[in-house]
């Protein structure tokens, strides 16, 4: 949902007739969905859309929320579920763009694809209420009342969870939302997004190239050529689409693959370093610690402990 702060724009036009920016949300290979807490001086996203479902909890800040052709103020605690490819934007009040250190824009955001647990999971009979929830979310749902507070509490709890516990929490949230009547529809039921998606094919080609080649030495020149752009233009384009610098994204993909190898293969850590696309151990260990907050050895020990717990439960 959010990106890196850009130059402040005091008045952002989010007219629903404008063509939304298509975002390519990159999933960390070691997770099946995105969960993040963001803290910014102000929410930096433009009028945009993406193919993932999005659950947004405004932890702290005020402003104007636009979803499709619906616009209204938002405040602390605002909770919204957005369906795929539904254009939306959060614009803070003017005071947030005046470098006031006492004002921060904080949010917890969950992104997930409908098939994040497999193509058929939500088609089983027990998931019928969730399928109806997904259908209702196509126009956006503002969650209200006790349901809003319970879901907000669960989203805060999820930040401290890993592995299957995080998945179970998300499923619990979806069940709670599916069974609740405490929600308002945002965009008009007849609202249909007719704007073409900009840059989607180009970003897909870049993404596919990176995923196929991250284990070898690839650089900005390589991927800029795939996008048919100069390197500076590509850097701006990539960051606007993924909300990450290319080098950061590449390192996260490599570390995600390393996490997979640590759990599933009998490689030693040195082998995994080079198999994941890193050229030296010191950089591998530094990036691993930065991204996972653990050393490779600690990550492997913790992951194996989780597996042992699951098999003994």
Contact between residue 255 and residue 288 where contact means Cβ atoms under 8 Å apart? yes
CA 123 – CA 249 distance, rounded (Å): 33
Q: Is the pLDDT of residue 42 over 90?
A: yes
What is the share, in percent, of the chain residues with pLDDT greater than 70? 84
- Most confident region among 43-52, 56-65, 201-210 by mean pLDDT: 56-65
Q: Is the pLDDT of residue 18 over 80?
A: no
Q: Tens of pLDDT along 121-146? A: 998 999 999 999 999 998 899 999 99
Q: How confident is the model at residue 204 (pLDDT cuts 50, 70, 90)?
A: confident
Q: How confident is the model at residue 11 (pLDDT cuts 50, 70, 90)?
A: very low
Q: Tens of pLDDT along 263-298? A: 777 889 999 999 999 999 999 999 999 888 889 988
Contact between residue 58 and residue 33 where contact means Cβ atoms under 8 Å apart? no
Q: Tens of pLDDT along 52-89? A: 999 999 999 999 998 887 888 999 999 999 998 888 89
Q: How confident is the model at residue 310 (pLDDT cuts 50, 70, 90)?
A: very low
Q: Is the pLDDT of residue 10 over 70?
A: no
What pLDDT score was predicted for residue 5? Answer: 40
What pLDDT score was predicted for residue 14? Answer: 44
Spatial CA neighbour of 187 closest among 136, 262, 123: 136
Q: Tens of pLDDT along 92-102? A: 999 999 988 89
CA 193 – CA 208 distance, rounded (Å): 26
Alpha helices for 162-275 (secondary structure H): 163-179, 200-213, 220-227, 231-242, 246-264, 269-275
Q: Which of 86-90, 104-108, 206-210, 268-272 has the lowest mean pLDDT?
A: 206-210
| Domains with residue ranges and CATH for the chain | 21-185 (2.60.120.10), 200-310 (1.10.10.60)
């Amino acid at each position: 949902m959010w990106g890196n702060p850009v130059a402040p724009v005091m008045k952002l036009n989010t007219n629903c007739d404008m063509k939304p920016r298509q975002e390519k949300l990159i999933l960390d290979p070691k997770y099946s969905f995105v969960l993040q807490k963001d803290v910014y001086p102000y929410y930096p996203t433009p009028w945009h859309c993406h193919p993932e479902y999005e659950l947004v909890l405004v932890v702290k800040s005020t402003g104007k929320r636009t979803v499709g052709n619906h616009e209204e103020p938002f405040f602390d605690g605002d909770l919204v579920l957005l369906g795929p490819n539904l254009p939306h934007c959060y614009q803070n009040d003017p005071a947030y763009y005046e470098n006031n250190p006492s004002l921060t824009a904080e949010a917890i955001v969950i992104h997930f694809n409908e098939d994040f647990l497999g193509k058929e999971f939500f088609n089983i009979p027990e998931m019928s209420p969730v399928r109806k929830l997904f259908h209702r979310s196509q126009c956006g749902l503002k969650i209200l009342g006790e349901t809003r507070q319970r879901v907000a509490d669960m989203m805060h709890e999820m930040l401290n969870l890993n592995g299957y516990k995080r998945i179970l929490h998300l499923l619990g949230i979806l069940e709670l939302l599916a069974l609740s009547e405490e929600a308002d529809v945002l965009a008009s039921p007849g609202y249909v997004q007719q704007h073409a998606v900009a840059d989607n094919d180009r970003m897909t080609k870049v993404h596919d190239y990176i995923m196929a080649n991250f284990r070898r030495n690839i650089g900005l020149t390589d991927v800029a050529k795939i996008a048919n752009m100069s390197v500076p233009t590509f850097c701006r384009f990539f960051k606007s689409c993924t909300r990450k610098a290319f080098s950061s994204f590449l390192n996260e993909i490599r570390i995600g693959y390393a996490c997979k190898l640590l759990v599933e293969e009998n490689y030693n850590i040195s082998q995994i370093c080079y198999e994941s696309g890193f050229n030296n151990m010191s950089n591998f260990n530094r990036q691993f610690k930065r991204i996972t907050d653990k050393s490779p050895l600690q990550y492997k020990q913790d992951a194996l402990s989780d597996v042992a717990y699951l098999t003994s439960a």
